[in-house]
Amino acid sequence: MSRFSKTTHHAVYRWWSRMVAMTGKELRQLSRDYLLVGAVLFLFTLDVMMAGGVKMDLNMATMMVHDADHSQASRELIYRFQPPYFKFGGEILNQKEGIELLDQGKALVVLDIPPRFQHDLIQGKPTSVQLQVDTGNTVLGTLAASYGGQIIGRYGFDIALQRMNITDAGLASVPMLADSHRVWYNPNQKDAWFMPISELLTIITVLAMMLPAAAAVREKERGTIEQLLVSPLTPTQIMLPKVVAMTLVILLGTALSLGLILRGVFDVPMKGSIPLFFAVTALYTFAMSGLGLFISTVSRNLAQATMLIIMVMMPIILLSGAWTPPEAMPPGIRQAMYLSPLYYYIEMAYGILLKGAGLKLLWDSLLGLTLIGSAVFGFGVWRFRRQFS
Amino acid sequence: MNLHRIKAIIYKEWREILRDRLFLSLAFFVPVSMMLVFGYGIKMDVENIPFAVLDQDRSAMSRDYLHLFMDSRYFDYQGDVQNERELEPLLADSKIRFAIIVPPRFQENLLSGRPAPVQSLIDGTFPFRTATSKGYVIAINNAFNGKLLAGFISKKMGLSPEQAASLVQPVKLELRYLYNQELKSIWSIAPAMMMFILMMTPPFLTALGVVREKENGSIYNIYSSTVTRAEFLIGKLLPYLGISAVNVVILWFMAAQVFGAPFKGDPLFFFLASVVYDSCTTGIGLLVSLFANTQVAAMMITVVVTIIPSVLYSGLLVPIASMDAASQFEAHLFPAMYYTDIAIGSFLKGIGMEQLWGRAGALLLYTLVLWLVSYLLFHKRVRA
Amino acid sequence: MGQTALVGDTQPVLVTPEPVVTVRDICKRYRKQIAVEGVDLTIQPGEIYGLIGPDGAGKSSLMKAIAGVLTFDRGQLEVFGERIDSEAAAERVKGRIGFMPQGLGLNLYAELSVEENIDFFAALREVPPELLAERKHKLLTMTRLENFLDRPMKQLSGGMKQKLGLICTLIHEPKLVILDEPTTGVDPVSRRDFWAILADLLRERGITALVSTAYMDEAARFHRLSLIYAGRVLAEGEPDQIRQQAPGSLIEIKVEPQIEALRRLKVKFPQTEAVGAVIRVFVAVASTEQATEQVKAVLDGLAIDDIHGIETELEDAFVALLRQRHLADEQAAANPQIPVTTAAPTPIGGEIAIEAAGLSREFGDFRAVDNVSFKVMSGEIFGLLGANGAGKTTVIKMLTGILPPSGGSGQVAGANMHSASQAIKERIGYVSQAFSLYQDMTVLENIRLYARIYAVPRKQINQRTEWVIEMAGLAGVENRLAGKLSMGIRQRLALGCALVHRPQVLFLDEPTSGVDPIGRRRFWDILMQMARVEKVAILVTTHNMGEAEHCDHLALMHAGQIITDATPEQMKLSLQRDAGELLEIVTDQPLMALQIVEQAGFEGAALFGQRIHLLAKDPEQAGRQIAALLAQKQITLLGIHPRIPSIEDVFVYRIMAREQEARSR
């Protein structure tokens, strides 16, 4: 072996050995910070689970009825408002009472059935019912109106068929749409898939910034950075192990969350390639750690770093589509979304976990994440190195 | 109670806040940016759903049918595909959220008096959007069906189209949207966001402010002086309460002016109720600060303690009335629910003191209990 | 709140027989950890009572309990005759107490200006505006802070923060002030200043004071004191009485070879330490002659240059008392021998290990280091002395390659600091002032981490780890978390980690602040061994003057420049040459005497407890003059002796002279 390659070999060994030692140190230190470990565990498990508790579907909405007819037909209609969407809350005597209940939030919908409702139906006269919907919460209001409309529409349709004496068998000779709906990726439309995944991705984002920033700031806070700076370690050798160690921790937490909560509790199908998901997560974590490192350079202590991370988080989430798909965003914001690394990550995460998409479909998002991520990471590294000179 | 000493503490605290630029910006920047992020970031209006069409019939009727979707403001037509296999990657890559398939012989079936199958594929990733989209599809289909049936009946029974139509649709639905006639989601999100932001930020600032003194030891100036516990707590908290009160006005302005949510209620009542709510959440921060010894611990505890009641038990996402009995009980234990009602009530429903005094009273009671407990737990002669 | 009005005047206090503070058998524990265990003490009105002990001895807990801000588990406490057994009782006396917690300026508000800080404390204590204006003026003038009224507290120097803290504590003119380690981390000049102001104020207003310190050499500042260790009182009384509780003689020897002498002496006399070129031995017999004989017997066969007895100090008594009670770090006693690496690496750079040539560094307009030059030989312990902000740390930063110099050059361990800073980093060891290893990792984990950072070959890691553990006396604590160790052991661990890769040059930045005397001695034993046997060149910065005496060579820094550069003996000699002999005057009325001496124009007169120190060119004539002056005022002169000046005397004199020069220019 020539002298040159021997020294090169030696240098590589040293570099590697230092990296391993420093990475081990970071992991060890983190494992002894019970508060932080507790927080990480809480976020990856209970917090994700709690997010699953947020159901945005209509659930047992209270319906009050002003039934001025009190007939067989009106009872039949009222009876069709059933759980899980609706629950019959009782009868009221007049419209005013209905408004009061809606004002008080004690009812979400009020159904008003006019007098002579049954009589008109039998006579074949057109009649109408009124549904008053509290749209103070638009999600619930929209759904209540939509479901209520479907119920009443179905009721009228059944009456019409009855009147025309068309039996179920006779339907085959009526020209009409036989519509069927297939919901993909989440056939039972469980909210419990969307919210926990969204929460997990947000948590990964927070921790990818928080953990390296905490590790770097702590060295400053406790003065240990001094000892490292006089050692032969380069700034890169000080910084990179933090990123690597924290990425490992986040991947571990993600695995825990995926296995224990998403699969274990919510039965998320995980259609795509899990290794691909982890690879993408690792890439994303690396990118975001750049922001964490940057924050560590401008804060004197952990409290400051945490405050700054909270501030940085806001626009990142806004522009990510974590809660709202891009097509629902106003046009200006939709363009700005291309700047948020979380946007690409969310695209890929949903793509892989729920839709079974692979690289063939996701390459553009991957490219986007790689570009934005490199820029962010590069910026963080540059600032981190610069603070020492 | 000595007003001079309270004043001294307030003045000192205020000076410190003003000169700590990070803290000051945190105090005002975070609430505002949260409002912007949530206001612009959460869109519950389901519109412009990107969709594609697979028309295997290519008849006049199929085109008529599909135009119902293309012309709807809820849907955003992305194009035609040639076969079903092309749809999957489009859905998987989120290029479309919905697809409609019209099989061959659509027109032929309908014209010859037979049912014609159609199929819709919906992306289930965002369940609320899925449910809403499905509702739109059903509504469009029903309308199309109504026309088909009316035509069929008028031909078969020899009725006029009007008669046929009323026969097919015997029960008309009159929908009345109360409080938010245009169904603008931001109108309901903005007031609810006030609840959320005022739940998160005042305790955060308060806990940080108090724990900071503990962390650097200046709390010993208070311990060793003749300032009473009540004087200290009042003097320390009033500046934070002041900040929160300013934030109430800022957020209120943003909700009304930036996001256009109408304010129909009693401004004085709403402001006072908001300040009571602030005092209440400030009290939460105070309580947290009595247990936390470092700023970081204070932040973590605050987030955990406030995020659960404000997300799950506030009525923000899940209406209280829809909860099971146990959850309803828990919701009544947290202050967030009462304020959500006050905010939505004041903004959209235009109700005031008369209907909401019970909620405001609950908040006031909550505040008194929190402050009293903190007062009893705060000692000037400590154990450690 | 009538108290503040009572002490507006400057009348001497009527000494009542009733003590201000009575402590009986107080115990305090935090969970399982005992902080104070059965302490008794009494503080009389008008006295300055000291609590001396290392970090973690329980001083702070005791003081907080007396200030009424901390509960205790057992025992009785009376303050101003009030039994403190509840929060309400504590509240009743707080109006008469001023309390300054530990930590340089930590209880002040960093964002507020000097004046705002004072005003806040005054408002808290409801000082009426007229009184406030008057007191503020007086206190600010005394502390010479009047020109910094608008400066934010965070931009003050350590000494200024300390003084501001004192003003804030005294603004309501309490009857009792409790000051927790007010001088820790403050440079000697500011420290002297601080004590002088405190003594003046207390005397003038008749205030009683309870003051704690970790510095043994401040004992002379107190009327009475308690030595505290591990939550107990080791000894109580006047400084001299305490010294007499551990009778003994201190013998100073110059002998060759020093290392062999040290080794032999340590076996027989555990309190042996090398101070630069001399060895000091504490022998537990009162007679100096007997002690000298005993020492000579041990050194039989070695070349003794010089041997004589000197006066014992409180620190010797403290260590002796600890030993008597078997509280001393047993490791230190059991393991006097420091393992020697058989094959020490040969120094690359020849004789000169560190060389600074005209080093300068500017930060903007500010010149932190100004044309600094010095040389350190291998095997030499070189001390860089100076106040905070004198530029010591900047010099070290430049030499260790963290900070590029604005001008000048330097060689460290044979490598040029401009072209080979990486090589320098591989060849040096560094111990910083605050413990800068990982507190949340165990001793072994720390050592191994640094072994790998310094790329100690894999095969040697175990061997080097064992060496470090043995050398630094860490056996038995290998698996404890570093944060759970005492300061002394922690700093030895830091030293061990700095030596794990066998550096030729060792930098130490104030390595022993906060370490108890035994721990400090142990630390210096190791340094001495490294220098003498392994020929490591050691550059140590300090503002602890006791530590400076241990160095072979000293450089005194002030405002970025080196003022003098010589051996400790030379420095003392040149002080005597330039400023005269140091005289110690003992009288029955030290305060009056000090005033008289000051008025007579003697340079650098200062009060050390009951004694006055001053410098006189012609000591005999000065002695006569002082005796006459005192006789005139009917003050009994109990004694007047020449003393060998300490490095602290040198330091204070040189710095003051420099500052005077700068002012007159």
Per residue in C446-481, pLDDT tens? 999 999 999 899 889 999 999 999 888 888 889 999
- Tell me which residue in C402, C432, C440 faces A33 most closely, judged by beta carbons: C440
To the nearest whole angstrom, how far is the Cα of A224 from the nearest Cα of chain C?
A: 4
Rounded-to-integer distance, Cα C73 and Cα C565, Å: 53
Q: pLDDT over 90 for what percent of chain A?
A: 36
Q: HSE (CB half, 13 Å, CA atoms) of A241?
A: 24
Please report, for the domain that includes residue C655, its CATH number. Answer: 3.30.70
Q: Which amino acid is at C525?
A: D
Sequence length of chain A is 389
Q: Would you tell me how many other CB atoms lie within 10 Å of the CB of residue C364?
A: 6
What digits encode the pLDDT tens for the residues C382-404?
A: 999 887 778 888 899 899 888 88
What digits encode the pLDDT tens for the residues A117-148?
A: 999 888 878 888 999 998 888 888 888 998 99
- The answer as to whether C339 is a domain residue is no
Say if residue C348's pLDDT is above 60.
no
**DSSP structural state of residue B192:** H
Rounded-to-integer distance, Cα B156 and Cα A198, Å: 54
> What residues of A are in contact with residue C434 (Cβ under 8 Å)?
222-223
The residue that leads in pLDDT, A182 or A64, is A64
**Residues C502, C523 within the same domain:** yes
Rounded-to-integer distance, Cα C359 and Cα C350, Å: 22
B174–A131 CB contact, under 8 Å: yes
Say if residue C39's pLDDT is above 60.
yes
> What residues of B are in contact with residue A107 (Cβ under 8 Å)?
321
What digits encode the pLDDT tens for the residues B119-170?
A: 999 988 887 788 888 889 988 998 898 888 888 888 887 788 788 877 778 8
Please report, for the domain that includes residue C370, its CATH number. Answer: 3.40.50.300
B window 36-55, beta carbon within 8 A of A: 36-37, 40-50
To the nearest whole angstrom, how far is the Cα of C368 from the nearest Cα of chain B?
A: 28
Domain architecture of chain B: domains with CATH? 3-42+184-377 (no CATH), 49-168 (3.40.1710.10)
> What residues of B are in contact with residue A196 (Cβ under 8 Å)?
none
Say if residue C65's pLDDT is above 50.
yes
pLDDT tier at C610 (50, 70, 90 boundaries)? low
To the nearest whole angstrom, how far is the Cα of A41 from the nearest Cα of chain B?
A: 13
Say if residue B293's pLDDT is above 90.
no
Q: Which amino acid is at B29?
A: F
Does residue C643 sit in helix, strand or coil?
strand
Average pLDDT of the residues of chain A: 87
pLDDT at C317: 86
User: C90: which 2 tokens?
Assistant: 């504590």
Rounded-to-integer distance, Cα C238 and Cα C220, Å: 9
C66-75: average pLDDT: 93
**Residues C371, C477 within the same domain:** yes
Rounded-to-integer distance, Cα B42 and Cα A322, Å: 9
> What residues of B are in contact with residue C97 (Cβ under 8 Å)?
224
pLDDT at A5: 67
> What residues of A are in contact with residue B91 (Cβ under 8 Å)?
184-185, 355
Q: Which amino acid is at C10?
A: T
C225-236: average pLDDT: 90
What digits encode the pLDDT tens for the residues A161-198?
A: 887 777 777 777 778 888 888 888 777 766 668 888 88
**ipTM for the whole complex:** 0.82
> What residues of B are in contact with residue A351 (Cβ under 8 Å)?
92-94
The residue that leads in pLDDT, C14 or A146, is A146
Q: Is B76 on the interface with C (CB under 8 A)?
A: no
Say if residue C1's pLDDT is above 70.
no
Residue numbers of the domain that contains C388: 352-566
Buried b vs exposed e over A151-181: b needs ≥16 C-beta within 10 Å? bbbebbbebbbeebeeeeeeeeebbbbebeb
Sign of torsion over alpha carbons A69, A72, A77, A79: positive
**Residues C539, C581 within the same domain:** no
pLDDT tier at C518 (50, 70, 90 boundaries)? confident
Q: HSE (CB half, 13 Å, CA atoms) of C178?
A: 28
**Residues C163, C219 within the same domain:** yes
Sequence length of chain C is 665
**Residues C307, C366 within the same domain:** no
pLDDT at A55: 67
User: A340: which 2 tokens?
Assistant: 């948020």
Rounded-to-integer distance, Cα C470 and Cα C460, Å: 15
pLDDT at B82: 92
Q: Which amino acid is at B77?
A: Y
- The answer as to whether C316 is a domain residue is yes
To the nearest whole angstrom, how far is the Cα of C394 from the nearest Cα of chain A?
A: 13
Say if residue C6's pLDDT is above 50.
no
**DSSP structural state of residue B148:** H
pLDDT tier at B321 (50, 70, 90 boundaries)? low
**Residues C534, C594 within the same domain:** no
Contact C78, C84 (CB under 8 A): yes
A180–B119 CB contact, under 8 Å: yes
Structural domain tally of chain C?
A: 4
To the nearest whole angstrom, how far is the Cα of A102 from the nearest Cα of chain B?
A: 9
Rounded-to-integer distance, Cα B300 and Cα C380, Å: 51
> What residues of C are in contact with residue A222 (Cβ under 8 Å)?
434, 436, 439
**DSSP structural state of residue A106:** S
**Residues C26, C126 within the same domain:** yes
**Residues C477, C554 within the same domain:** yes
What digits encode the pLDDT tens for the residues C596-609?
A: 888 887 767 777 66
Rounded-to-integer distance, Cα B23 and Cα B205, Å: 8
What digits encode the pLDDT tens for the residues A315-370?
A: 888 788 777 778 878 788 888 888 889 999 998 998 898 888 888 888 999 999 99
Domain finish residue from C179, C210, C239: C239
**Residues C169, C269 within the same domain:** no
What digits encode the pLDDT tens for the residues B158-171?
A: 788 788 877 778 88
The torsion region of residue C408 among left (phi > 0), alpha (psi -120 to 50) and beta comes to: left
- Tell me which residue in B16, B381, B384 faces C68 most closely, judged by beta carbons: B381
The closest of C276, C285, C217, C288 to C251, measured between CA atoms, is C288
The residue that leads in pLDDT, B282 or C30, is B282
Q: Is B142 on the interface with A (CB under 8 A)?
A: yes
Domain finish residue from C538, C566, C594: C566
Per 3-state DSSP, what percentage of chain B is helix, strand, and coil (rounded to 5)? Answer: 70, 10, 20
Rounded-to-integer distance, Cα A261 and Cα A255, Å: 10
A1-8: average pLDDT: 63
- Tell me which residue in B41, B65, B130 faces A189 most closely, judged by beta carbons: B130
**Residues C17, C124 within the same domain:** yes
pLDDT at A285: 95
Domain architecture of chain A: domains with CATH? 19-53+189-386 (no CATH), 61-173 (3.40.1710.10)
DSSP secondary structure of B84-96 = GGGHHHHHHTTS-
B220–C69 CB contact, under 8 Å: yes
**Residues C371, C319 within the same domain:** no
User: B251: which 2 tokens?
Assistant: 């957020």
Domain finish residue from C277, C307, C334: C334
Mutate to test the interface with A, among C154, C363, C421, C440 (most CBs of A within 10 A): C440
Rounded-to-integer distance, Cα C398 and Cα C643, Å: 39
Contact C219, C52 (CB under 8 A): yes
Q: Which amino acid is at A248?
A: L
Place of tokens 């049912």: B115
For residue C344, CA distances in Å to C112, C340, C348, C427, C536 come to 55, 9, 12, 13, 9
- The answer as to whether C345 is a domain residue is no
User: C363: which 2 tokens?
Assistant: 């930060």
**Residues C498, C511 within the same domain:** yes
B282-310: average pLDDT: 85
Rounded-to-integer distance, Cα B304 and Cα B317, Å: 18
pLDDT tier at C91 (50, 70, 90 boundaries)? very high
Does residue A67 sit in helix, strand or coil?
strand
The residue that leads in pLDDT, A97 or C612, is A97
- The answer as to whether C483 is a domain residue is yes
- The answer as to whether C398 is a domain residue is yes
- The H-or-E segment that residue C120 falls in is helix C114-124
To the nearest whole angstrom, how far is the Cα of A247 from the nearest Cα of chain B?
A: 21
User: Of A378-387, B270-279, C321-330, which has the strongest mean pLDDT?
Assistant: B270-279
Rounded-to-integer distance, Cα C270 and Cα C263, Å: 10
- The answer as to whether C373 is a domain residue is yes
B window 278-317, beta carbon within 8 A of C: none
- List, in order, residues 6 or more apart from C312 with CB less than 8 Å away: C243, C248, C249, C250, C282
**DSSP structural state of residue A24:** H
> In angstroms, how far is CA A167 from the centroid of its own chain?
46
Q: What is the CA radius of gyration of chain C?
A: 26
pLDDT at B215: 83
Neighbours of chain A (3+ CB pairs under 8 A): B, C
Per-residue three-class SS string for C582-605: EEEEEECCHHHHHHHHHHCCCEEE
Rounded-to-integer distance, Cα C256 and Cα C267, Å: 18
Rounded-to-integer distance, Cα A324 and Cα C361, Å: 55
> What residues of A are in contact with residue C481 (Cβ under 8 Å)?
32
Mutate to test the interface with A, among C395, C438, C507 (most CBs of A within 10 A): C438
Say if residue C349's pLDDT is above 60.
no
Beta strand residue intervals within B228-347, DSSP E: none
- Tell me which residue in B112, B121, B349 faces A182 most closely, judged by beta carbons: B121
The closest of C511, C532, C529 to C520, measured between CA atoms, is C511
Rounded-to-integer distance, Cα B202 and Cα B209, Å: 10
Average pLDDT of the residues of chain B: 88
pLDDT at A180: 83
Rounded-to-integer distance, Cα A151 and Cα C81, Å: 84
For residue B201, CA distances in Å to B198, B235, B334, B341 come to 6, 19, 16, 20
Does residue B332 sit in helix, strand or coil?
helix
Place of tokens 């009005």: C5
What digits encode the pLDDT tens for the residues C562-597?
A: 998 998 889 988 988 888 888 888 887 777 788 888
Q: Is B218 on the interface with A (CB under 8 A)?
A: no
> What residues of C are in contact with residue B227 (Cβ under 8 Å)?
124
Say if residue A6's pLDDT is above 80.
no
